[in-house]
Structure 1
């Protein structure tokens, strides 16, 4: 393998990722015969087939799977080396791969914006998805850092609670309970609820508090996004429990937070990464920044700011 070139490995990784010689040639801006030639030379160096074609579909062989994993390790090490060299020169530059659970989209971009102002040479890859997809990305070691409200227990993670995540009961502005104080859970029981999909952390929390009090919760709708839930509340379809971070200034003409006993439920946002993973210079810089700066992004501060402007 010492005779394999980085260019050959780059071509191989691109073909493996796109499962196509033609698409790889297009992405790399080279001719398809060049792709075929590079893969042929690499195959001869390895001494085993790297791909097999069944019909029109291209598949990796076992040797190809192992080589792809090795490519990822090599490219990651080279990226980290470049970041380290830049750091030694006094410059923070490189790429940060970050995946955030959907509710995090209400505050993470603001934190990223101020971070990028400090470190303009850092490129950000931001994925926003649900807990289930984040779990899979963790298993596949896809990213540097993950931000979510409930880190999985079945993956060995380094985790840091860095931001409050209060969960509140949200209702239409003109709801019958909107002006009442110290509302009990029993008083909420007659009203239908709009909840996130099964598996959502917010859904688990609200289900648990009702179960602990031996009360039933009427679930009228299950929706996959907080924005859809807010629209459904505005439409008079029911109440919901949402992170206070989701309540932006545009909500306050039509939504209100009910004063319910035992609410807000105090949860936290966590930034995590795989245990044993050596963070790049850029990832470590962002982690430190996130923990230090999150004091300026509490839900209460953002709520008060949005409420004032609303």
Structure 2
């Protein structure tokens, strides 16, 4: 064989990232090693696979052909590994989970329980924004995907496993802090800090505002929940975020949950996978355990009234 499976893995990573540096980081290799392997592939195949135009990398026509084949070959090997692992039950095997960034506060707890129950399973968790997760879904890179909302046009099977409560947060010295039963109309003149367009929390917030005839002023868009929390704490604006992402800040009074009528916005967490995909025993077991685990973010009998301080937060019971 003119090229190796390892070279196919490296080339696939570069093609997906469109960056030698990011591919090297994902593979735990050095950038020169990744670059050399791709150049050796090109020499063996007699075709340029990746070209640089300005500061960006692009696949050539030959590169697109090789990428398609690389995916088919590596997916076939993954299926073989999965089938062999299934023969051994849960004594060994692999589980690959991809989750949207907001879910990174909840999913590791579930995975921790799973790993303690099944120590022979090699577990990998990838966290990214919604766009990155859907790209991974399209490339069939993982076993299961954790999403807030599953797009209607996504050819997927999915299950709901928990609620995701979105709350309106403010710095503790905000004029609305401490007030009760704030009507949505009071938000008309407020400035907001929001996640990027297309994110689940941003879309849910926009639907709420539109339903109340509001057009909130967005001062800045930020690409992570951590950045949003810091911006709100600094007094740059209000925001709508998942309560689970801000438990510590609410508990310590860094942020305050405003009691605006209609909040919290109740959404669901979904676990999804490509329709028709054969789930390994490890994936099937995690799916079952996820659906039967104590629900994250359970609210009180008062349906989770606003919290300046939080007593109990998200958690997973032991085995």
Compute the TM-score of the two structures, normalised by the length of structure 2.
Answer: 0.78
Tell me, in whole angstroms, the C-alpha distance in 2 between the residues paired with 1:253 and 1:243.
16
Tell me, in whole angstroms, the C-alpha distance in 2 between the residues paired with 1:55 and 1:80.
31
Deviation at 1:64, TM superposition (A): 3.8
Alignment partner, residue 296 of structure 2: 297
Deviation per CA, 1:113-139, whole angstroms, max 9, x where unpaired?
111111111111211111111111111
Alignment partner, residue 83 of structure 1: 85
Tell me, in whole angstroms, the C-alpha distance in 1 between the residues paired with 2:173 and 2:260.
16
Deviation per CA, 1:121-163, whole angstroms, max 9, x where unpaired?
1111211111111111111111110001011222211111101
Alignment partner, residue 214 of structure 1: 213
Unaligned stretches of 5+ residues in structure 1? 41-49
Alignment partner, residue 232 of structure 2: 233
Alignment partner, residue 45 of structure 1: none
Tell me, in whole angstroms, the C-alpha distance in 2 between the residues paired with 1:112 and 1:135.
21
In 2 relative to 1, CA 71–54 (structure 1 residues): closer, same or farther, beyond 3 Å? closer
Deviation per CA, 1:30-67, whole angstroms, max 9, x where unpaired?
xx99x979x97xxxxxxxxx551379889646764454
Is 1:258 the equivalent of 2:258? yes
After TM superposition, the structure 1 = structure 2 runs for residues 55-134 of structure 1, keeping only pairs within 5 Å, are 60=62, 64-65=66-67, 67-87=69-89, 91-134=90-133
Deviation per CA, 1:262-290, whole angstroms, max 9, x where unpaired?
11111001000001001011111111111
Tell me, in whole angstroms, the C-alpha distance in 2 between the residues paired with 1:105 and 1:111.
11
In 2 relative to 1, CA 51–144 (structure 1 residues): closer, same or farther, beyond 3 Å? farther
In 2 relative to 1, CA 76–213 (structure 1 residues): closer, same or farther, beyond 3 Å? same
In 2 relative to 1, CA 176–161 (structure 1 residues): closer, same or farther, beyond 3 Å? same
Tell me, in whole angstroms, the C-alpha distance in 2 between the residues paired with 1:68 and 1:55.
14
RMSD (CA atoms) = 3.2
Deviation per CA, 1:77-98, whole angstroms, max 9, x where unpaired?
21112221211xxx43211111
- The 3-state SS of whatever aligns with 1:96 is strand
Unaligned stretches of 5+ residues in structure 2? 15-19, 53-58, 305-309, 315-319
Tell me, in whole angstroms, the C-alpha distance in 1 between the residues paired with 2:238 and 2:65.
54
Dislocated runs of 4+, deviation >6 Å: 54-59
Q: Contact 1:162–1:268 at 8 Å: present in 2 too?
A: yes
In terms of fraction of residues, the more helix-rich structure is 1
Larger Rg: 1
Is 1:10 the equivalent of 2:10? no
Deviation at 1:15, TM superposition (A): 5.8
